[in-house]
Structure 1
Amino acid sequence: MEMQFSLAHLTALELSPPELTYVAAKAGYDFVSIRPIYMGLPGEPNYALAENKEMMQQTKRALNETGIKLLDIELARIYEGLDPKIYLPAFEVAAELGARHVLSSIWTDDRSSYIEKFDELCELAEPYGLSVELEFVPIASVTNLKGVVDVLETVKRENTGIMIDAHHFHRSGDKPEDLDQIPREWFNYFHLCDAPSHIPSNIEEMKRILREERLYVGEGGINVAEIVNHLPQIPYSIELPNIHRARKLGYEEFVKQCLQTAKEYFSRNARVTLEK
């Protein structure tokens, strides 16, 4: 099966969803992954398409004109006090644009609360044909593979999955062979990037790297090929924010280089199927 690539929005967050789609198509991506859920972070653009009908129509037009597909939407965070129903407008947007998945992560330490809210999130997403992909994040509350497996085994929903991010996986201390114990159907796509092998002990430095200074695949210290070899063949969503490079090269050239370097890396590190 030929490798497929998506352009994750965080790689070029200054581009609106329609702009991202056109740039991704020109660079040769198969999918885009957009952020129509506004999180209100400092300096983050608001791409809440449910509230911006003009941008919604522009995004739909861009997808239709380019033939690019929408892989997933972000980010349905689970946090203290959340009413998961606030994500329903974004689910409607996702379904209308043909998305397959919703990315989620957990930002509260209250296990009983986040289990309940994640279960409700999956229930709300199901009528829209969406699976909810739970990602562990080193600066969040669920920070490793074991924590995500605990959630999925507890909620026992069919429309759930685990989304592995190369950066986060390396920082978690999990081992690639740990992935062999996970049901294959839980893997639907993978966040592709690289980063320095040294793991920062300072959370602010960790945050800075993951949001602003990830590296081209093969440029850092993560053995991406080894991780991928323990996963089924799934789309690779390139989430590779590097603000300095993007502004120096321009986003069109930067996202092109993100894809080109990934393809070159995999041409040098051919996939080995380890599944039985």
Structure 2
Amino acid sequence: MAHPLCLAHLSVLQLSPPQVVETAAAAGFGLLGLRLAAAMPGQAVFPMLGRSPLMRETLARLDALGVAVHDVELVGLREDSVAADHEALFEAAARLGARHVLVAGDGHDEARLAERFAELAVLGRRYGLRMGLEFMPWRGVRNLASAQRVLALAAEAGGGLIVDAIHLDRSGDGAGALAAIPAAQWSYFQICDAPAQRPSDEAELLRQAREARLVPGEGGLDLRGMLRALPEGLVVSVEAPLADARSPLDKARALHRGARALLEAVGRS
């Protein structure tokens, strides 16, 4: 079964939500993700909460172009997080028709994070949303094993797992680890490429992850192995901020071509 492709907002982060919709449609994506909340304290985001003019314009573009919002991001999960603080984000996600919310674990106490994650998941269900926990090597939940422990502790809440190819590799895991993930635990997979050699310091790790990833198929990650390990039909979100001079549309088209070629190569297109 084919894997639907989704254009992640981070790949074209300079674009406003309506522009992301237009770019995704023009590049061949049927799905897209939108960043509605800051990834770091103080980071500026487009005003999409509530009934803002930008929200109305985004909804109009979605309707006109026939593409859909798959996910929104993000919630930084801490031991003292309050689920209700994110209700405006969930309301906006639901208005857009999204089904997933990306949650990044910023704390280290896995038991307490699991409690907060479960509270988010319960609130999200009121809006038709599933919480997806993503690990990142520089955050509190920094690898697949940690994310799975948090999910296991919050199992009754019904959340899922988001795995990004570069974070999987940089945290020391690979395709074999993906094959062991139960299909029901998945939310979605994020794909990009990167040099095969892992960075030796956190500054370079962050630089590559935030602004210098590669088009799928143009680096050294074992993307074919990872794709073969995914459950059939799982959404693959192409998240690859590229530090080059191409226009956002040209980048999005290159990302779609690269991801599609890999899926074809492993018989998952």
Is TM > 0.5 for Structure 1 vs Structure 2?
yes
- Equivalent in the alignment of 1:193: 192
* AA of the residue aligned to 1:196: P
Q: 1:255 aligns with which of 235, 252, 255?
A: 252
- Equivalent in the alignment of 2:138: 139
How far is 1:40 from its partner?
4.9
Identity across aligned pairs (percent)? 33
Quick check: 2:175–2:225 contact (8 Å CA) kept in 1?
Answer: yes
How far is 1:225 from its partner?
1.2
Residues 192, 97 of structure 1: CA spacing in aligned structure 2 closer, same or farther, 3 A cutoff? same
- Equivalent in the alignment of 2:16: 16
Quick check: 2:50–2:92 contact (8 Å CA) kept in 1?
Answer: no
Superposition pairs for residues 72-87 of structure 1, below 5 Å? Answer: 72-87=71-86
- Equivalent in the alignment of 1:106: 105
Residues 204, 108 of structure 1: CA spacing in aligned structure 2 closer, same or farther, 3 A cutoff? same
Q: Does 1:235 align with 2:232?
A: no
Residues 271, 39 of structure 1: CA spacing in aligned structure 2 closer, same or farther, 3 A cutoff? closer
- Equivalent in the alignment of 1:3: 3
- Equivalent in the alignment of 1:37: 37
Q: Compare 258-267 and 200-209 and name the one that shifted more.
A: 258-267
Structure 1, residues 116-161: CA drift from partner, whole Å, max 9, x if none? 2111111111111111111111111111111111111111135311
How far is 1:181 from its partner?
2.8
* AA of the residue aligned to 1:91: F
Q: Number of aligned pairs?
A: 268
- Equivalent in the alignment of 2:177: 178
* AA of the residue aligned to 2:224: A
Superposition pairs for residues 55-66 of structure 1, below 5 Å? Answer: 55-66=54-65
Quick check: 1:13–1:45 contact (8 Å CA) kept in 2?
Answer: no
Quick check: 1:191–1:236 contact (8 Å CA) kept in 2?
Answer: yes
Residues 154, 210 of structure 1: CA spacing in aligned structure 2 closer, same or farther, 3 A cutoff? same
The answer for unaligned runs of 5 or more in structure 1 is none
Quick check: 1:214–1:241 contact (8 Å CA) kept in 2?
Answer: yes
How far is 1:2 from its partner?
3.0
- Equivalent in the alignment of 2:216: 217
The answer for unaligned runs of 5 or more in structure 2 is none
Quick check: 2:32–2:71 contact (8 Å CA) kept in 1?
Answer: yes
TM-score, normalised to structure 1, is 0.91
Distance in 1 between the 2:116 and 2:66 partners? 35
Quick check: 1:6–1:235 contact (8 Å CA) kept in 2?
Answer: yes
Q: Compare 22-31 and 106-115 and name the one that shifted more.
A: 106-115
Superposition pairs for residues 153-164 of structure 1, below 5 Å? Answer: 153-164=152-163
Structure 1, residues 15-65: CA drift from partner, whole Å, max 9, x if none? 0111100110011101010011134556x4412411561001011111111
Distance in 2 between the 1:4 and 1:11 partners? 17
SS at the partner of 1:157? helix
SS at the partner of 1:249? coil
* AA of the residue aligned to 1:102: V
TM-score, normalised to structure 2, is 0.94
Q: Compare 252-261 and 76-85 and name the one that shifted more.
A: 76-85
* AA of the residue aligned to 2:247: G
Structure 1, residues 55-104: CA drift from partner, whole Å, max 9, x if none? 01011111111111110000111125432221100100111111010011
* AA of the residue aligned to 1:267: E
Distance in 2 between the 1:198 and 1:28 partners? 31
SS at the partner of 2:58? helix
Quick check: 2:122–2:157 contact (8 Å CA) kept in 1?
Answer: no
SS at the partner of 1:179? helix
Residues 39, 271 of structure 1: CA spacing in aligned structure 2 closer, same or farther, 3 A cutoff? closer
